[in-house]
Structure 1
Amino acid sequence: MKEATVKLDLAAAGAATERPISIAIVAMGGQGGGVLTNWIVSLAESQNWVAQSTSVPGVAQRTGTTIYYVEMMPVSGSGQKPILAQMPTPGDVDVVIASEYMEAGRSILRGIVTPDRTTLIASCHRMLSTVEKMAPGEGIADSKAVHDAIGVVARQEIIFDMNNLAVKNGSVISSAMFGSLAASGTLPFDRNAYYDVIRKSGKGVEASIRTFDAAFERTENAEQATNATELQTEKTPTPLPEGLNDTRANTLLHRIRSELPAEAHQMAFLGVQKVVDFQDVEYGNEYLDRLHELNVKDAAANGAARGFEFTVTAAKYLANAMVYDDVIRVARLKTRSTRRDRIAAEVGLQDGQILNSTEFMHPRMEEVVSSLPVGLANWLIARKGLYAWMDRRINKGRRLKTYSLRGFIPLHVVGSLKGMRRRSLRHQTETAHRTAWLAEATNALRHNYELGVAILTFRRLIKGYSDTHVRGLSKFDKVMATTKSIAHRDDAAAWARRLLTSAIKDASGDDLDGTIKTIESFI
């Protein structure tokens, strides 16, 4: 029986050189990867080709990516249907379409982008991954490695900000990617055939065609090299204004010019704007008072020869330290009109449509108490029974509709309490912590300039509120304690920077603990 099976006549469906066109699409949940795949299949079938699509789903919302795969080929003269593959094979993919820049990089790592065959169509915008967002500081992956690789591994590259183009034209990124695919010349179909597929979908047809056309023209007019200006936009510092209409604000501007070196003007101006928005003009003067004191110490440490790096760094991180995330600030941010406008733009709100959003909140008694005046807060903390009773009623998850009266009014009321902020327990705690942190930095400055600057940057670890703030403080304390133990060493600044990098990049803290153990081994 086995011998008879082996001898069956299995004729080939076509010539040995005949092969399908293969397209891999990598997209995150909600980016229309499935829609684009269906459009491509419908396009091929409308031209009497045989097409097949498969997908391997990842986890939606940017913790995973769905890989869609399409193979297509014309019907053979014999009428026999070809057998098409279900997954992309490294070295055998004609087109790779990536909805986000790092997904293009992952496609390269998978080996499905090759210089002899693959046309890479990708959007250069970034959607941060969960791991990138979890990092306490700057955890964003470097896109430069992807940029460098694309010019080597792809036969043809079509890369620009397709998401931005789609938003401008009132559609979604799948329409832009479809337009770039049409203009790439990788499929032998007329442009009108693409239009027919979009029209048959019956949803957002006009906006989709408008986006398709914009992407088509953008692709046709672009060179095959990536537009570097879209991938890396350098921010040029904005010069200080000559004067401000508000008398109090103009006084702050005058103080920056007269009390600080030119190198720190821009950063100090941004810092003043931030702290004044957080509290008031008096708080802005307090910021400049402290910054001026730090600059005097910087000058005494020969900071002029180093471009006053200590003062410039302090201007940034002192403002961040003074603008902490308490419940008052969080409530203000959630009810600001600028936030609503941003959300409306992101979701493409149209005239006549009503926007609403839901805040997922889990207040703790600690946040409530920290916002109270110091005396009342300490009185409550001392009465453990009452504190626990209140915590049981406060410490629970809640959902508030931001733009309903029931949700907006309490948020607005809490946000309007910034006048009592300076008397609060949280402000007292933050001020004490800030004073101790700056004292460590200035002490180090006297004997090791670089170490003083490095200690200022430790403030990057502290952000957010509730559990996020607690975790940041814990890492800050570890990094500071370890740095103080090696402050006498000539390489203390280098080790301080390594500690900070480990703490920022590793949300779990394992890398930081490993770096600390390494340091402890030679103390």
Structure 2
Amino acid sequence: MPAAVSEKDEIIKIAVLAVGGQGGGVVTDWIVHVAEDNGWYAQATSVPGVAQRTGATIYYVEMVREGEGTPVLALMPSPGDVDIVLAAELMEAGRAMQRGFVSPDRTTLIASTDRTLAVMEKIVPGSGIGDSAPVIEAARAASKRFLGTDLDRVAVANGSVISASLFGALAGSEVLPFPKESFEKTVSADGGKRGEASLKAFRAGYDAVRETGADGAKDFGKEPAPVAKAASGDAIAGPAQDLKTWSGFMESLDLDFPRDARDMMRAGLEKVVDYQDIDYGREYLDRMKGIYGFDAANGGAPKSFRFTVEAAKYLANAMTYDDVIRVADLKTRATRFERVETEMGVRDAQVMQVTEFMHPRIEEIAGTLPAGVGRFILNRSRLRSTLDYFVNRGRRVRTDTMRGFLTLYFLGGLRRMRRRSLRHGTEMAHIEEWLDLAKETVATNYDLGVEVLRCRRLMKGYSDTHERGISKFDRVLSALPDLTGRDDGADWLRRLIEAALKDEKGEMLDGALKTIKTL
């Protein structure tokens, strides 16, 4: 066979990395299509990941100008031998760098800076989300040219998916010798409304990397992440009397509390009022007044009142514990349906069906009842097990139906009775014990007392998740007597909290507790 590729011929090598559902295969097909339309021979291969959302797929394209015979092209990218890397997610860009696909002397790295969390990031009881900053910094250093922006957000804003905006970013980078019109023709081939939306997202991705900068494109890696608003929003609405009371709360924040704590306290107030009512906000504020007074009397000023600031955060979280009422309330809010519709891209003529998965146990049901009734049920093992047989099973509730929605709406409305429930009494008693322990500790070791407040982050969720959180909370604080007299006690308690958050089984926490016993 005559040689199809001579030394002067140019082979362009492209690696596309994406996780399941991001359209990596679509982008690859489009690249092949636009190459063939322009008289190039293109070959595409792929190595799939383990499964959707767990493994990631590497797509690889090699293209060369058509000549005599059939070229023999590689099936997989080789380290140091890739011209273009397209990453549909930031950590996939990091994976490409780890495998050596990105080289400072030749590789153009085009990446979406959004995050699709990996399984290992999701299963961590605390925050297991990887830090994006080191990946972006490495991308700048490892590539010849780095172009990054939130291409997923660009696509969603134009009613499409990331494959279209990623393809647009590739066209806008001008690293391929093909005109923009050729790329647009390929995208438009989908036809219909889908093709129109894809074309809009393509053009938005194209424009994103065409903004002016040192190398002809804006370095989107420096863009700050969007900041989420508080659950209750910036505007407070409600009855006139409640609004007057709220204004009084705001005046109290300015007059009765240190500047360092005001922002956190406002966020805490918004959260507890949204959770229950304006009187619950007054209860939160009264508790915080006592905490601030104690903090000021125990050397808080030189420490920028860290005890008060941390209490403002974790007391609000403790007072807004998750129960059946809270879950039902959140699932029937109009804002939630609006968010789901936006994420799913629902159009005017489309009907959205929403199925909620719920699995309450008898403990959650009894906790919602008046304290006496709930305690009566839980203290009688035969009655408890009988009722648990009927309620402790997974349920699918269709909130797009009248019956399903009204059921959860009714449960959410029970928050008016929450203060009389068994669960509320239990939570309030636990809060008082926790705050008393923190105050007792801060009186002798300020920094250690602050860490006792932070232990509250171990408790979250409801049902089995909540029970595991309580167990870890108790085990971490069991080390407090051994740490109270140590100058580094706060550091050790912080390490225990981190160990408890990183390991659901608690093995890391067990090891850390044993280490403390040897100090």
Query: Structure 2-normalised TM-score?
Result: 0.93
Q: How far did 1:130 drift? A: 2.2
Pairs within 5 Å for 1:506-517 = 506-517=503-514
Report which stretch shifted further, 165-174 or 382-391.
382-391
Contact in 1 for aligned 2:16/2:87 (Cα 8 Å): yes
Of 44, 64, 67 in structure 2, the residue corresponding to residue 53 of structure 1 is 44
Bigger CA drift: 258-267 or 58-67?
Answer: 58-67
Separation in structure 1 between the aligned mates of residue 357 and residue 73 of structure 2, nearest angstrom = 46
The one-letter code sitting in structure 2 at the alignment partner of 1:347 is M
Residue 76 of structure 2, aligned match among 68, 83, 87: 87
Do 1:26 and 1:67's aligned partners in 2 also have CA atoms closer than 8 Å? yes
Q: Does 1:226 align with 2:219?
A: yes
Match of 1:159 in 2: 148
Please tell me the residue identity of whatever aligns with 2:210: E
Q: For residues 137-189 of structure 1, what are the alpha-carbon distances to aligned partners after superposition, in whole Å with 9 as ceiling and x for unaligned?
A: 22211111102101110011111111111111111111111111112122111
Q: What's the CA shift for 1:464?
A: 0.8
Q: Does 1:181 align with 2:142?
A: no
Match of 1:342 in 2: 339
Does the 8 A contact of 1:124 with 1:230 survive in 2? no
- How much does 1:256 deviate? 2.1
Q: Secondary structure at the match of 2:14?
A: strand
Pairing 1:100–2:89 present: yes
Matched, 1:465 2:462: yes
Q: CA 1:262 to 1:242, structure 2 compared with 1: closer, same or farther past 3 Å?
A: farther
Q: Report how far residue 18 of structure 1 moved.
A: 4.1
Q: Tell me the equivalent position of 1:214.
A: 204
Distance 1:192 1:457 in 2: 57
Aligned residues: percent identity? 48
Task: Show the 5 A alignment for 1:409-428.
Answer: 409-428=406-425
Aligned partners of 2:275 and 2:349: how far apart in 1?
Answer: 34
**Deviation for aligned residue 1:342:** 0.7
The alignment status of 1:436 with 2:425, answered yes or no, reads no
Q: Distance in 1 between matches of 2:295 and 2:51?
A: 49
- Matches of 1:62 and 1:301, distance apart in 2: 50
- Where does residue 40 of structure 1 map in the other structure? 31
Point out where structure 2 has 5 or more consecutive residues left out of the alignment: none
SS in 1 for 2:478: helix
In structure 2, which of residues 184, 191, 215 is the aligned counterpart of residue 195 of structure 1?
184
Name the CA distance, whole Å, in 2 between partners of 1:279 and 1:143.
36
After superposition, the Cα gap between the structure-2 partners of 1:234 and 1:375, relative to the gap in structure 1 and judged at 3 Å, is closer
Matched, 1:276 2:261: no
> Aligned equivalents of 1:388 and 1:400: distance in 2?
24
How far off its partner does 1:62 sit?
A: 3.1
Greater Cα offset, 170-179 or 320-329: 170-179
> 2:195 and 2:225 mapped to 1: Cα distance?
33
Which amino acid in structure 1 is aligned with residue 351 of structure 2?
I
Match of 1:373 in 2: 370
* Contact 2:9–2:65 (Cα < 8 Å) also in 1: no
CA gap of 1:464–1:242, structure 2 versus 1, over 3 A, is closer
What's the CA shift for 1:33?
Answer: 1.1
Task: Please give the alpha-carbon distance, in whole angstroms, between the structure 2 residues aligned to 1:303 and 1:285.
Answer: 23
What letter is aligned with 1:371? T
In the alignment, residue 126 of structure 1 is paired with which amino acid?
A: R
439, 442, 447: which one aligns with 1:445: 442
Q: Report the Cα distance in structure 2 between the residues aligned to 1:183 and 1:430, rounded to whole angstroms.
A: 56
Aligned to 2:53: 62
Contact 1:349/1:355 (<8 A) preserved? yes
| Residue pair 1:243, 1:250 contacting (<8 A) in 2 also | no
Task: After TM superposition, give the deviation of residue 38 of structure 1 in Å.
Answer: 1.0
Whether contact under 8 Å (1:136, 1:462) holds in the other structure is no
Q: Which residue of 2 aligns with 1:6?
A: none
Among 300, 303, 306, the residue aligned to 2:300: 303
Is 1:125 the counterpart of 2:118? The answer is: no
Whole-angstrom distance in 1 between the partners of 2:507 and 2:451: 21
TM-score (norm 1): 0.93
Q: Which amino acid aligns with 1:230?
A: E
CA contact (8 A) 2:87 2:93 kept: yes
Contact 1:124 1:231 in 2 (8 A): no
C-alpha distance in 1, partners of 2:302/2:327?
Answer: 41
Please give the alpha-carbon distance, in whole angstroms, between the structure 2 residues aligned to 1:273 and 1:132. Answer: 29
**Aligned residue identity for 1:253:** M
In the TM superposition, residue 381 of structure 1 has moved relative to its aligned partner by: 1.6
CA contact (8 A) 1:483 1:495 kept: no
Tell me the secondary structure at the aligned position of residue 349 of structure 1: coil
Partner Cα distance (2:467, 2:258) in 1: 35
Q: Aligned residues, how many?
A: 509
| RMSD (CA atoms) | 2.2
Counterpart-to-counterpart distance in 1, 2:10 and 2:384: 73
Matched, 1:389 2:378: no
Secondary structure in 2 aligned to 1:378?
helix
How far apart are the structure 1 equivalents of 2:455 and 2:512?
A: 15
